[in-house]
Amino acid sequence: MTVIAISTTIAGGGEYAQAVESAGGEPRLLRFDSAALDAQLDGSAGVLLSGGGDVEPRRYGSASELAAGIDAGRDAFELALVRRARERGLPTLCICRGLQVANVAFGGTLIADIGTSFDAPTAARHRFDIGGTTERGLIAGHNVEIRARSLLSTIVPNSPVVTGSRHHQSVATVAGELQVVASTPDGIVEAVEARFPSPFWLAVQWHPESTLGDDDGASRAIFAAFVGAANRFREAGSFREAN
């Protein structure tokens, strides 16, 4: 079984682990222990960075006070994780916060709060709360345009695609190591891919793990492509065996 290392605060890995398992992978949850990063990655053939709280603004040179849910230990670990995954050539999938972490890790910056940066009538709905509960399914009108000739376009060929969305921050300046491959009509970056060589590297701002049965197969296709790349990586003997 192909092991996928998952960085998340959710006990048992939640929907992320379930999505990996549904695609044929074996989830392995990581501890936010930078000193043990390499040991934890040994035996893994892919890395998944999940959603969560905001990245500490000082990590990307901002003094914004609009960030919430900051976890300094998680920030340090995941910034190191995404860089080490690149060094090892591991297939990588980043989701929501994961995209933001990756952008910061490679030198990019973030929009501190979409609601205060965009005119509400013209902005897409990037988070939908009902009675104190955040909508976890598809959000009508959250239409993501996917650029042609991108990795994502080969996985999800129909564009635009309606997705879920539950974030208040997003990419501001895109890291030079990354390239934008999808956005909503208001200009919010919804997916980036690597400019550097990688067997698979994709980051999406939405939550495909929550919509596996809701979007005509697009979410399942993302996880299938990711785990498929990890399978090939493992079969090629490119990963470091666990001690």
Q: What is the mean pLDDT of residues 84-104?
A: 98
Paired residues of 145 in beta bridges: 183
Comparing 115 with 164, the larger pLDDT belongs to 164
* Residue 243 belongs to some domain of the structure: no
* Residue 143 belongs to some domain of the structure: yes
* Residue 132 belongs to some domain of the structure: yes
Count of C-beta atoms within a 10 Å radius of residue 127: 15
Residue 149 tokens, joined: 């000739």
* Residue 224 belongs to some domain of the structure: yes
Q: Could you say which of 94, 96, 126, 142 is catalytic?
A: 96
- What order of strands is seen across the sheet that includes strand 161-162? 25-29, 2-7, 46-49, 92-95, 201-204, 189-194, 178-183, 143-146, 161-162
Across all residues in the chain, what is the average pLDDT? 91
Q: What is the mean pLDDT of residues 85-107?
A: 98
Count of C-beta atoms within a 10 Å radius of residue 223: 25
* Residue 240 belongs to some domain of the structure: no
- Rg (Cα) of the chain, in Å, rounded? 17
* Residue 71 belongs to some domain of the structure: yes
Per-residue pLDDT band at 97 (split at 50, 70, 90): very high
Given a contact cutoff of 8 angstroms between Cβ atoms, the answer to whether 97 and 52 are in contact is yes
pLDDT of residue 168: 82
Per-residue pLDDT band at 238 (split at 50, 70, 90): confident
4-53 per-position pLDDT tens digit: 999 999 999 999 999 999 999 999 999 999 999 999 999 999 999 999 99
* Residue 176 belongs to some domain of the structure: yes
Is 126 annotated in the active site?
no
Is 96 annotated in the active site?
yes
Comparing 141 with 149, the larger pLDDT belongs to 149
Residue 3 tokens, joined: 């092991």
Is 209 annotated in the active site?
yes
168-212 per-position pLDDT tens digit: 889 999 999 999 999 998 889 999 999 999 999 999 999 999 999
pLDDT of residue 134: 60
CATH of the domain at 115: 3.40.50.880
pLDDT of residue 62: 86
pTM attached to this predicted model: 0.93
Could you give the number of structural domains in the chain?
1
Which residue in this structure is represented by tokens 């290392």? 5
pLDDT of residue 110: 94
* Residue 58 belongs to some domain of the structure: yes
Can you give the residue range of the structural domain that contains 51? 2-235
Per-residue pLDDT band at 139 (split at 50, 70, 90): confident
